[in-house]
Structure 1
Amino acid sequence: MSTDLSTTPPGTPGAPGTPGASDKLDREVLVVAGVVVLGAIMSILDITVVSVALETFQREFDATTAQVAWTMTAYTLALASVIPLTGWASDRFGTKRLYLIAIVLFAAGSALCAAATSLEMLVAFRVLQGLGGGMLVPLGMTILTRAAGPERIGRVMAVMGIPMLLGPIFGPIIGGALIENASWHWIFLINVPIGAAAIVYAAKVLPKDSVEPSETFDWLGMVLLSPGLAAFLYGVSTIPETGTVLDAEVLLPAIIGLLLIVAFVPWALARSNKHPLVDLRLFTNGTMTVAVIAMSLFAIAFFGASLLFPLYFQQVRDEGALSAGLLLAPQGVGAMLVMPVAGVLSDRIGPGKIVLAGIAVITIGMGMFATLDATTSYTFLMGALFVMGLGMGATMMPIMSAALQTLRGHTVARGSTLLNIVQQVAASIGTAIFSVLLTNGVKNDVRPSKDPVQVLDDLAGVFSSTFWVAAVMVAVVLVPAFFLPRKPPAEPVDQTALMGH
């Protein structure tokens, strides 16, 4: 059975694009979606589960905050570096085979992390985890898109969005519970049985690979882009630590990374380069271009601001990591309620209208948070998080589906790779921006005082001001969202023909 169901002849009963074919997700697609969600949950949960263990790592390994932060940074850099390889590798080895390899790498890395006896070992094994985790999400998007066909992509992206949205919310809850009731080792050990189950599940239900003759590998592209992304993100991730963009530790790697990325662009577009590592010719597709711009602005604004929520609860309201995680749960509930409906509507009326509504709702929720102080009621705050969750469920995955609906064949893998790179880079930039805004706000506006109430009021004021910036940045996403398709997906564009390959 071919994995590329989007190229099934139109006359085939039930084939994508066949008039009268059911637009519901059939059992076969749902079974495939199950294994994809399982893999994505492992990868995305792991990022946020580890975030609550940093204080524990400091104690266990007698290390500084900056040193233990490498357990997060190493994973992110490895994840970003391997994403560009995923499109080529899925064409070369097949999506099923590569998906199984990615799960094995991730599970093995998790087991080794749990066995680490020093911080250096833990950081090294986090790199191995990141190499596996970086492939799981773009591969999962490719597998689901091909299985469902373009006219049902809104629905499958809604399924794929579940771990993407719930990971950052339930990660701290699970991490806090495991650390408090067992030990830090279990935040990694828990991935081993999940990984084993995912391997068996994937081997059984994913369609057999149908690999075409291999494309040549873009070695020069890999030498330019993967180290370029890693160096740039390293520089950006150092900004919160240094407190300024102008520090040499930020500027040197960021500039080197940018130069490598810039050098990749003409090489990727050169006529002599038939199979670039990341296919920038996809930007000849207007919908893809608009979706990438919308995704970039959204990821910077929303994922950057997301770090503020648990910090407010912990620093201003004196909540523990587990309590802060639980207080964020309404956001996940709101997203879960809307996401399936948004997926169906995105397929029926086009993603443009859905995304516009979602962004408007998130802006309202973020605006509610911008009015907080040190004593704002939890009912109000959790209501604002619920509102933002409703908007989130109608935003991120419809943006992705808008881009992927226009692709078919091998360009699906290349498109999902491009979207995941953009999201990863934009989220890192957003995190750095809001970390610096918050740090500088605390430095400038929180006055030393013997009165703890006054200090908390000042600190709450800094959070309020930063949330206003977030609300404005989210609202800006309305501009590109206005140009997203407002009609059901037509026959996908054959990008190969457009590009003259």
Structure 2
Amino acid sequence: MTSQSVTPASAPASAEPKVNWTILLLGFAGMVIGQFMAILDIQIVASSLPQIQAGVGASADEISWIQTAYLIPEVVMIPLSGYLSRLWGTQKVFLLSCSGFILMSVAVGLSGSVEQMIFFRAVQGFVGGAMIPTVFAVAFTAFPPAQRVTASVIMGLIVTLAPTIGPTLGGHLTEQMSWRWLFFINVPPGMLVLFLVSRYANFDKGDPSLSKGFDWFGLVLMATFLMSLQFVLEEGAKNDWFADDEILLLSVVTLVTGPLFIWRTLTYYNPIVELRAFANRNFFVGVVMTFTVGLALFGGTFLLPLFLGRVRGYSAAEVGTTMVVSGLAMFATGPFAGRLVRLVDPRVLMFGGFMMCAWGMWDAHAVTDQWGFWEFAGVQALRGVGVMIAMIASQQVTMSTLPPHMVKNASGLVNLFRNVGGAVGLALLNTSLTTNTALHMSELTQNIQNTNAGMQGMLAAMQERFADSVDPAGAAMKAINGMLLKQATTLAFGDAFAMLAIGCAFAAFVTLLAKPVKQQPGAPPVASDAH
């Protein structure tokens, strides 16, 4: 702020407009809280699915749709929100999105059947999706260039912290109250968001002329393509991919509608999504980085709770407590990363961040069935710090060289690719776990067939232990089979962690393709960042 006092009096016309920081920060804070809720709700149910399943009487296949139903419609709204923001204005879109999100949160919490729950979760994901990318657009349009790094740090914290602490918060809420409070908890912060955004977030005006020639055909193509893609990625692994007729059909639909949507977007005069931003080299590299951040962020958040529940038998609260290390590491790194971005080439930070993430994931490839809080603490700390540094740096590389009129659409694309990266990561990890568990189980059982003294001794000891049962030999074999399955599952998790590590290391080298990012004009010295 003090830098404004040294601006020459003769240059008022060229000076930046004076910013009312109270209004800007209160409006931005409201939007950030809304964004946090929308991202949090993706993962908040992760550690509480068994309790929800029991509560609504769902089958194992049906309960997975509590997450899938949220993600599939959300992936359509994220890119569409850029167009709606230009048409109606950011404030109106955000208020409509938040209002619908709150209503649907209550509806999901009151659901009496799994069918109701899946329907309301789908609507919740669709309407809430607009709260995610609009915050990115505001950070790069409403904030002066000198303060955009600070806004990026705040967004980076939200985007990385929300899915990380989701299972933690969800586990404790379910254990202390009930699973319905996973959704009711959105109401108080949602009301605060509506107040702050309606009062302080009037950052821009809409352009009603955009409604003329709205591309309905393009919208249908985009929705069909993205929803089919998301469904295939979410459900493919559990349905044995192309062996399932539905997955095969939707894969064909994806392959047909994807190119058609790109063609329509590039040729129509008023496209829903502006793909020309990809002609900007830094934007293209940044989107690849964002895709990888999504893969590492959601992949790591998916693997760890699954391992702790499936192998260690942890409760929802115990899973949440173990997961908190990653969130704390990210929270502590955010301000530090913001200062680093001003001092160091963002490409170097992206490279270092992804390599740290790769290091942490590679350490976890040696996981055993005895690993718990302390063994995973170092892994989570490295992953948390690395993802945070890489995300904040990639935001600067991605958005800094785009012209202002492209920012709203570009922010939708960035968020879309992070979500799709997460979906691709989960699909690959699910497939890897299923395939490698069977592979390791086969290897272990083959070794047993070469009957050795140790195995015979273990079998005899087990038969003695189950001597009182109807079939001691059968019970002993069942127990040994359970032990082998646990070992095979643990080895498969190690393979999955290694796969994530290789992906992060590959992304680290892709960062070197970006062009140097010039400091934004008017950026103050680093020492003044305290403001």
TM-score (norm 1): 0.89
1:466-485 Cα distance to aligned partner (Å, 9 max, x none):
21111111100012211234
Please list every run of 5 or more consecutive structure 1 residues that lacks an aligned counterpart in the other structure: 1-9, 493-501
Matched, 1:463 2:493: yes
Amino acid at match of 1:15: E
String of CA shifts for 1:270-316, please: whole Å, max 9, x gaps. 2xx22211111111211111111222234334423431111122222
Q: How far did residue 60 of structure 1 move? A: 2.4
Q: 1:166 aligns with which of 156, 161, 168?
A: 161
8 Å CA contact 1:434–1:466 kept in 2: the answer is yes
The answer to whether 1:475 aligns with 2:472 is no
Amino acid at match of 1:476: F
- The equivalent position to 2:230 in structure 1, one of 230, 233, 249, is 233
Instruction: Output the amino acid matched with 1:401.
Output: Q
Which residue is 1:315 aligned to? 310
Is 1:71 paired with 2:66?
yes
Distance 1:246 1:301 in 2: 28
Question: 2: distance between equivalents of 1:471 and 1:226?
Answer: 32
**C-alpha distance after superposition, 1:62-105 (max 9, x if no partner):** 22111122221111111012122111110010001111111001
Contact 2:30/2:192 (8 A) holds in 1: no
- Paired residue for 2:216, among 219, 230, 237? 219
Task: Identify the match of residue 329 of structure 1 among 321, 324, 328.
Answer: 324
Change (3 A) 1:385 1:93: same
Which of these residues, 253, 257, 262, is aligned with residue 256 of structure 1? 253
Aligned: 1:204 with 2:190: no
Q: Which residue number in structure 1 is paired with residue 178 of structure 2? A: 183
Q: Indicate whether 1:277 and 2:272 are aligned.
A: yes
Q: Following TM superposition, by how much is the alpha carbon of 1:458 offset from its aligned partner in structure 2, in angstroms?
A: 2.9
Contact 1:350 1:485 in 2 (8 A): no
Matches of residues 256-405 of structure 1 in structure 2 within 5 Å?
256-270=253-267, 273-376=268-371, 378-405=373-400
Note closer, same or farther for the CA distance 1:470–1:345 as it changes in structure 2 (3 Å cut). Answer: same
Contact 1:238 1:249 in 2 (8 A): no
The answer to whether the 8 A contact 1:331-1:389 is kept is yes
- Classify the secondary structure of the residue corresponding to 1:52: helix
Call closer, same or farther: CA 1:28–1:481 in 2, change over 3 Å: farther
Task: Give the CA deviation at 1:408.
Answer: 3.8
Tell me: CA distance 1:212–1:37, structure 2 relative to 1, closer, same or farther (3 Å): same
2:125 pairs, out of 127, 130, 146, with 130
> 1:245 Cα deviation (Å)?
4.2
Question: 1:145-188, CA deviations, whole angstroms, 9 ceiling, x for partnerless residues?
Answer: 21213443332121012221112222112212222222222111
Unaligned runs of 5+ in 2: 1-10, 446-476, 523-531
Asked if 1:109 is matched to 2:139, the reply is no
Q: Residues 84-103 of structure 1 correspond to what in structure 2 (within 5 A)? A: 84-103=79-98
Deviation of 1:418 after TM superposition, in Å, equals: 0.9
Change (3 A) 1:37 1:373: same
The within-5 A match list for 1:422-461 is 422-446=417-441, 447=444, 450-451=479-480, 453-461=483-491
1:487 positional shift: 3.7
CA contact (8 A) 1:78 1:127 kept: yes
Letter in 1 for 2:317: L
Kindly state the Cα deviation for residue 343 of structure 1 after the two structures are TM-superposed. 2.3
Which residue in 2 is equivalent to 1:3? none
Question: Closer, same or farther in 2 for the Cα pair 1:126/1:428, shift >3 Å?
Answer: same
SS at match of 1:319: coil
Distance (Å, rounded) in 2 between the aligned partners of 1:150 and 1:263: 37
Q: Give the deviation of 1:15 after TM superposition.
A: 2.6
> Offset at 1:491?
6.1
- Where 1:83 maps in the other structure, the secondary structure is helix
Per the alignment, do residues 436 and 305 of structure 1 end up closer, same or farther by CA in structure 2, a change over 3 Å counting? farther
Contact 1:346-1:398 at 8 Å conserved across structures: yes
Rounded Cα–Cα distance in structure 2 between residues aligned with 1:12 and 1:59: 65
Q: Secondary structure at the match of 2:209?
A: coil
Which residue in the other structure is 1:82 paired with?
Answer: 77
Give the conservation status (yes or no) of the 8 Å contact 1:346–1:488: no
Instruction: Measure the CA separation in 1 of the matches of 2:185 and 2:416.
Output: 27
| Structure 1 residues 298 and 161: CA distance shift in structure 2, 3 A | closer
Residue pair 1:152, 1:347 contacting (<8 A) in 2 also: no
Amino acid at match of 1:184: W
Against the structure 1 CA distance between its residues 375 and 355, is the aligned structure 2 distance closer, same or farther, given a 3 Å change threshold?
same
Aligned-residue offset at 1:490: 4.5
Deviation for aligned residue 1:380: 3.1
The CA deviation string for residues 253-275 of structure 1, in whole angstroms up to 9 with x for no partner, is 122023112101122112xx222
Given residue 394 of structure 1, which amino acid in structure 2 is its aligned partner?
Answer: I
**Separation in 2, partners of 1:53, 1:144:** 34
CA distance in structure 1 between the aligned counterparts of 2:408 and 2:373, rounded to whole angstroms: 43
Deviations 1:120-168 (A, max 9, x none): 1111111221122210010111122212134433321210122211122
Q: How many residues align?
A: 475
The whole-number CA distance in structure 1 between the counterparts of 2:395 and 2:252 is: 29
Call closer, same or farther: CA 1:306–1:377 in 2, change over 3 Å.
closer
Residues 361-413 of structure 1: per-residue CA shift (max 9 Å, x gap): 11111111112212246423211211111111101232123211122433110
The Cα shift of 1:28 comes to: 4.8
Q: 1:356 to 1:11 in 2, by over 3 A?
A: farther
1:149 aligns with 2:179: no
Q: CA deviation at 1:108?
A: 0.8
Question: Is residue 151–residue 488 contact of structure 1 (8 Å, CA) maintained in 2?
Answer: no
Instruction: Give the structure with higher Rg (CA).
Output: 2
Cα distance in 1 between the residues matched to 2:68 and 2:250: 14
1:15 aligns with 2:16: yes
Q: Closer, same or farther in 2 for the Cα pair 1:379/1:70, shift >3 Å?
A: closer
SS at match of 1:317: coil
Q: Is the 8 A contact 1:358 1:391 kept in 2?
A: yes
